[in-house]
Amino acid sequence: MAEAEAPEAASREQETCSRARVLADPFRAYPFKLRIDGVVEGHFTQCSGLEGEVLGPRARTRGSSSITAGDMTLRQGVSQSPALWSWFLASMNGVPRCRGVSVLLLDTDGVTERMRWTIDEAWPKKWRAAPLDALGKRIAIDSLTLIFESLRRG
């Protein structure tokens, strides 16, 4: 009987540890995760501007693309990574570095991925800081706008 209980006890222990990790995640309240080159660099509560537009034949000019992409804006976010700010500074200094970016929408459990958008050739266009907090250890971001060349879901 004790042998049958051992796997169940181990399973309960793993589940408890998993829940503890989720509850301990300080970014759980931020369901949108910004991944840059595969690394999560920012956590946000809102995302807008994920759009593309197909231009008709009359709107196209010789040599131009028939598809345009919008500007994506992430709002009310935090980051502990200096990489996000450094990426923006490069754009400010006139040397924008195009990166592969993903935006993940997590479920309410803070772990399960509900949706993902993959954005190619993205670089930061605008950064607006949230009110500064001298006691905070995170970089608070009111909004971050990215320019991108293409967008796909998944």
User: DSSP code of 35?
Assistant: E
Residue 125, phi then psi, degrees to nearest 5:
-105, -40
Among residues 77, 82, 87, 91, the alpha carbon closest in space to that of 128 is found at 77
CATH number of the domain where residue 142 is located: 2.30.110.20
Whether residue 63 contacts residue 90, with contact meaning beta carbons closer than 8 Å, is answered with no
In a domain, residue 18? The reply is no
In a domain, residue 2? The reply is no
Q: What pLDDT, in 10s, does the model give residues 118-147?
A: 999 999 999 999 888 777 766 789 999 999
Domains held by the chain: number: 1
Q: How confident is the model at residue 75 (pLDDT cuts 50, 70, 90)?
A: very high
Q: What pLDDT, in 10s, does the model give residues 24-74?
A: 678 889 999 999 999 999 999 999 998 888 877 665 555 555 677 789 999
Average pLDDT, the chain: 82
Predicted TM-score (pTM) of the model is 0.74
Range of the domain at 65: 32-153
Across residues 78-94, what is the average pLDDT? 91
In a domain, residue 22? The reply is no
Distance CA 154, CA 39 (A): 16
Q: What pLDDT, in 10s, does the model give residues 113-122?
A: 999 999 999 9
pLDDT recorded at residue 66? 67
In a domain, residue 76? The reply is yes
- The residue count of the chain comes to 154
